[in-house]
Amino acid sequence: MTFAPRVVSFDLDDTLAPSKSPIDPRIGELLIRLAERVEVAIISGGQIAQFRAQVVDRLPHAPAETLAHIHLLPTCGTQYFRFEGDELVMLYAQDLTADEKQRAVTAVEEEAKRLGLWEAQTWGPILEDRGSQITFSALGQAAPVDAKKAWDPTGERKSQLRDAVAARLPDLEVRSGGSTSVDITRKGIDKAYGMRRLAEETGVPLDGMLFYGDRLDPDGNDYPVRAMGQVECIDVRGWQDTADKLEELLPSLPPRA
C-alpha cells in the first residue's frame, strides 16, 4: 500500500460474503471500524433488498455519525443509498424505461432457452426487474451457493449467454454478473460507472480510492474498476481473505478526528 485511501470500496458477493449470504460478524465489525476512519462503499449488481439482508441488517450497532460514512450502490451504481440516522435514503435511481425492460426480458429469456440454459429446477425467479437493471439468474436468486458454483465453474455458459443477448440489445449494456447471472442496464453502466458516481458524491478522486474484489480478471464483473487504471485494486479469494487484508489495512488508517 503506497497511499492512505480516503474511500475503501468493495464488491459484495464472494468478497464480503458468500453469494447472496449474510456477512459474517467479523466483516460487520471491520466495516464499522473502517467507517470510523474513511468512507466505506459497497458496489454490486444486486438490488437494495439484498444489501439490506446481507449487510445492513447484520451490521453491529454504530452511532449515526459512523453510519453516515457508509455508501451503498446497488445495481452497479445505478442506485445510490446513504444512511440518515438509522434509515437508508435513496439519493438517486436511473431506472430503465418500460420498453428497455421488455426488450431485455424477451431477449435474455429467448436466448437462454435457445442455448439450453433455461433450467427447470430453480430456487426463485430466473428473471428479476431491479428497476435500473434486469437480471437473469440461471438457478434463481435463492439458489444454494454450492449449486451456483457447480452450474458454471469456468464462466463459459454465462459468457455465451451474455454475447448472444448483447448482439440483440446493442443499445443496452449486457454483462456477466454473479456466479450464475447476467445483468442488463443502460449503455455504459458497470462498476466503473458506479465508482465514478461515487467520486462525484463523495468529492474523493478515483486515485484516492481502494477497491476489493474477487473477480478482477478480464472476464470478471469487477474488472471494469481495474481497467480504469485510476483506482488501486486488491484481489481477494472470499470474505475471509478480505477480512485478513482489512486487518492489515486498518492500523494504517487513523480514526476520524
Say how many residues make up the chain.
257
pLDDT tens, position by position, 197-250: 999 999 999 999 999 999 999 888 899 999 999 999 999 999 999 999 999 999
pTM here?
0.83
Residue 203: what pLDDT? Answer: 95
Residues 63, 203: Cα–Cα separation, whole Å: 23
Grid coordinates 437480471 are at which residue?
135
Say if residues 137 and 118 touch (Cβ distance below 8 Å): no
Residues 197, 257: Cα–Cα separation, whole Å: 26
Say if residues 88 and 82 touch (Cβ distance below 8 Å): yes
65: which residues sit within 8 A by CB, 6+ positions away? none
Q: What is the DSSP letter of 75?
A: G
Confidence of residue 1 (pLDDT cuts 50, 70, 90): low
Mean pLDDT of 26-52: 95
